[in-house]
Amino acid sequence: MKVEVEKQPGSVSKLQIELPADEVAKEWDAIANSFARFAENSWIPAGQGPARGDRQKDFARKSRTNSQRSLSSKSYHEAIEREQLRVASVTKH
């Protein structure tokens, strides 16, 4: 993981975190596998649920969103600890 800390005026720092592709792929696989296990265990009668293509798009979207959230949270906390930063508040840009 590559971390860059950019000091800005007013006791503000901007973090830029770059993750290796293999770490992102590993997290994606873990999330996708957990969704797949859930999908195998859910029973929806034929014709009662969304079309197969819609389910696949929804599965991909949810997997991507969850993996992004998980990676963002993990890498943020690791970067804060590594760089020994004290956080008063967090903003998103």
The reply to whether 81 falls in a domain is yes
Domain count, the chain: 1
14: three-class secondary structure by DSSP: strand
Owning domain of residue 76: 21-93
Q: Is residue 13 part of a domain?
A: no
- Residue 75 tokens, joined: 């890498």
Assess if residue 16 is contained within a domain: no
Note whether residue 10 is domain-resident.
Answer: no
- Of 12-21, 37-46, 54-63, 75-84, give the lowest mean pLDDT range: 37-46
Does the residue 8 lie in any domain?
no
Q: What residue ranges in the chain does DSSP mark as E strands?
A: 2-8, 12-18
What whole-number distance in Å separates Cα of residue 82 and Cα of residue 39? 38
The residue that leads in pLDDT, 33 or 16, is 16
pLDDT of res. 11: 81
Task: Let me know if residue 41 belongs to a domain.
Answer: yes
Residue 87 lies in a domain: yes
Compare 57 and 30 and report the one with higher pLDDT: 30
Confidence at 13, pLDDT banded by 50, 70, 90: confident
